[in-house]
Amino acid sequence: MHHFRIDLRSDTKTIPSAAMRAAMAQASVGDEQLDEDPSVNELVARVSTLLGKQKALFLPSGTMCNLIAVLVHCRPGDEIIAADNSHLISSESAGATALAGAQIRPVPAERGIFSAEQVAIAVRPQKVNAPTTRLIHVEQTVNRGGGAIWPIDVLRDLARFSRERGLAMHIDGARLMNAVVGSGVDAKDYGDCCDSVWLDLSKGLGCPMGAVLAGSDEFIEAARRWKFRLGGAMRQAGIVAAAGLYALENNVSGLQTDHQKARRFADALSSHECVLVGNPETNLVFFEINSRRMNAAQLAHELALEGIGIGVESATLLRAVTHLDVSTANVDEAAATICRILR
């Protein structure tokens, strides 16, 4: 196993800072399962206000947030509309199908962003032998769309359509605060577009774990029951909730720096004739290599030998993610090392 001096594989690789650890050590705690943990209660209240929702629920992971949202919104035999490159389809062990009995209808979408017109085509006719379209699923930002930000006008169009057609709309907020910082759109404006939304704490915000799912009182009441069923209820969870509170106070502004580092990395790679690099909107950089000498996995291996971690997406495609534990100097070194190896 390699030890990476510079880890660009994901923003989940962040290590809690000394200040965050101190906040965790000093956290007021209680029985979260009985709503007796002051730090958890403060965190969910803060996030529900941030997202403009009535109530929120602290959960161990974003994947559980997505799964619980599907379980609340859908019944067996229902159908979810999602982008063909969504995390829900590619990276959640088919939880929606395995546990909720709901199937997903993928919509071909450039950078993972689709329109209300595309959804109108994808919605099933009301026939006894067809699945019932129930939920529109949106990922903000779009991971495999290169960190693309959903424009607020597109989300508002989808929200209007979903309400007219009696569909639920859910936002996977794995990198929602990156979208807020990158677009200047308030988090509440995104929240107003959907019936449920969650905010991840363990990516760019630098926490060791956790996500917060928000929605109406009725939605969260149903979600809380699923949290118990899935084994997601915790005891003195304030220790990790305190990390989330610290992050919301101290780490949001740093996301803009992460975006700048991603742009710097992409610009440095674009000078190499063997590299075709995408246009990063936030903190994700996808780049394609065209080399007779090596493929993506071989390049990642060579980088690992020099203590640099990077993600492999296909035989030619790689992903780099900037975060608070990657400095500008680290980004420069990683880009220069890639160019040198490809030379």
117's tokens: 């017109």
Dig out the tokens for 7 from the structure: 């880890």
User: How close are the terminal C-alpha atoms of the chain, in Å?
Assistant: 26
How many angstroms separate the CA atoms of 9 and 18, rounded?
22
Phi-psi region of 291 (alpha: psi -120 to 50; beta: other; left: phi over 0): beta
DSSP, res 29: -
pLDDT tens string, the chain, 343 residues long: the values are 668 999 999 999 999 999 999 999 999 999 999 999 999 999 999 999 999 999 999 999 999 999 999 999 999 999 999 999 999 999 999 999 999 999 999 999 989 999 999 999 999 999 999 999 999 999 999 999 999 999 999 999 999 999 999 999 999 999 999 999 999 999 999 999 999 999 999 999 999 999 999 999 999 999 999 999 999 999 999 999 999 999 999 999 999 999 999 999 999 999 888 899 989 999 999 999 998 889 999 999 999 999 999 999 999 999 999 999 999 999 999 999 999 999 8
Picking from 153, 191, 147, the residue whose alpha carbon sits closest to that of residue 48 is: 191
Question: How many CB atoms within 10 Å of residue 331?
Answer: 24
**Inter-residue contact 255 to 283 (CB < 8 Å):** yes
Characterize 182-192 residue by residue with b for buried, 16 or more Cβ atoms within 10 angstroms of its Cβ, and e for exposed: bbebebeebbb
Phi and psi, residue 193, nearest 5°: -85, -5
CA dihedral over 306, 310, 312, 318, signed as positive or negative: negative
Helix (H, G, I), strand (E, B) or coil at 243: helix
The H or E element containing residue 57 is strand 55-59
Stated length of the chain:
343
Q: How far apart are CA 327 and CA 340, in angstroms?
A: 20
Bridge partner list, 132: 78
- The dihedral built from the CA positions of residue 58, 62, 65 and 67, taken in this order, carries a sign that is negative
**List of domains in the chain:** 18-250 (3.40.640.10), 253-342 (3.90.1150.10)
Please report where in the chains the tokens 């490809």 appear, as a residue: 342
DSSP tally for the chain: helices H, then strands E: 14, 13
Tokens of 91: 């990276």
CB 258 within 8 A of CB 323: yes
Q: Which of 206, 249, 262 is nearest to 14 (CA)?
A: 206
Is the pTM higher than 0.75? The answer reads yes
Name the nearest CA neighbour of 291 among 268, 266, 315, 320.
Answer: 315
Contact in structure between 152 and 194 (CB atoms under 8 Å):
no
Which DSSP state fits 148?
A: B
pLDDT digits 0-9 by tens, 54-90: 999 999 999 999 999 999 999 999 999 999 999 999 9
